[in-house]
Amino acid sequence: MLSADFLALPQAELHLHLEGSLQLETVRALAAKYGAPVSAQDILQRYAYRDFLEFIETFKWVSSLLRAPEDFALALHGLGEQLLAQNVVYAEVTLSVGVMLLRHQSPEKNFEAILAAAESLRSRGLQLNFVFDAVRQFGAEAAMKVVEAAERCSSKSIVAFGIGGDELSIPAKEFRAVYEKAGIIGLHRLMHAGEVGGPEEIRQAIELLGAERVGHGIAAVRDPSLMDLLAERRIPLEICPQSNIRTGALAKQLELSAAQIEQHPLPSLFRHGIPVVLSTDDPAMFHSDLRSEYENARRMGLQEEELKQITKMSFEYAFINEDDKAALQRVQRATSALR
C-alpha cells in the first residue's frame, strides 16, 4: 500500500478527458434530462469493453449527453470534486472539441461555461488548463476547425492542441498543416500515439508533427532506438495504466489475449530515462482515479521514491508558465519535505 505520506503529496494530472470523467449519477441525470433514462446497471454494462473500438463507441454515447453549456459546467464541477479529493492542485483537462463541432455545438459557448466552473474551483486550490482535442478519424479538415475554435476562444487557459481517437485510421503526415497552425497560434502540441498503434506512430508524432508530449506511448517499449530518442529529447509519455488494461491496448502491444497490470511497461520506460506522467485518461469509464493509478505503478514494482519522482515530473512537464510552475513545484517540495 502507498504510505500516508505519499498520499498527502500535492498532485498534478496531465492526460484527462472531461467526457470520460462523468460519474454514474451525472450520466443518469443527463440521460434523464434528455428523455433517455438509464439505470446504473445499464451504464456499467456499457462501461465493460472488450477492445479499443468498443470503448470508442461508449465514449461517443457518453459525450452525446453533453449538449448544452450547462452540461459541460456540470461535468467540470464533478471532475473538480474528484480531483480535489485526491490532493490534485493542477490538471490539464482535454475537451473533445472535434465532437462538439460534429454535433453542431458552439465550442465558444461551451468553453465559456467551462471556464466559469474552473474559476470557482481555482478559489479552492485547483488550477485547471485545457487541451482542445480533435478526432483522428474525422480527418485533417475537421482537426483544423478545432485549432480555429481554439483561436476564436482566445484564452490563456487553452494550453495545447491534441488529437485522439483511432490512431490507425489516418496517417500522421496528413495532419502536418494542422499542427503547424497550432504552433503558430501558440498552442503546445500533443498526440495520442503508440496506444494501439506501433512505435512508428510515436516516431511520426514527434518527427512529423512536433509532439511535445505523447498520449500513452506504450508501444515505445518495442523499439529500443525510440526509447533512446524519447529519453534524449526528454519527451514525456502520458501513461494511463488502467486505461491500457480496460481497452485491451496493453494486451495488443504484448500480443496476448489478455494482460495484467504487472505486465505494464511503465517501469521499463521510466527506468530507461524517459519522462513519465501518470494519468487516468477516462477515470469514470475505467473505474479508476489517480491514487489507484499510483497503486498500480507500485504493483508493477516501482518503489515509492520512484513514484515521488513521477509526481514531480507531472509538474515539470505541465504546460504552464515558469512562474506558475515554480509556485506549484514549491508547494510540492514543501509538502514532500514535511513528510
Give the residue extent of every domain in the chain: 4-337
Instruction: Give the torsion sign (CA, 320, 208, 248, 252).
Output: negative
**Ranges of residues in the chain whose predicted pLDDT is under 70:** 329-339
4-337 has which fold? TIM Barrel (3.20.20)
pTM for this structure? 0.94
Interatomic CA distance for residues 64 and 101, integer angstroms: 12
Q: By percentage, how much of the chain surpasses pLDDT 90?
A: 88
- Whole-number pLDDT of residue 52: 83
Tens-digit pLDDT profile for residues 112-135: 999 999 999 998 999 999 999 999
pLDDT digits (tens, 9 = 90+) for 205-223: 999 999 999 999 999 999 9
Say what percent of the chain tops pLDDT 70. Answer: 97
Main-chain dihedrals φ then ψ at residue 122, nearest 5 degrees:
-60, -35
Q: Residue 21 has what pLDDT?
A: 97
**What pLDDT, on a 0 to 100 scale, did the predictor assign at position 339?**
46
Catalytic positions, written as ranges: 195
pLDDT of residue 333: 57
Helices (H) and strands (E) in the chain, counts: 17, 8
Cβ neighbours of residue 172 closer than 8 Å, sequence gap 6 or more: 191, 193, 201, 204, 205, 208, 209
Give residue 331's pLDDT.
Answer: 62
As beta bridge partners, residue 239 has 278
Q: Where are the beta strands (DSSP E) in the chain?
A: 11-17, 88-95, 127-135, 158-164, 188-193, 213-216, 237-239, 276-278
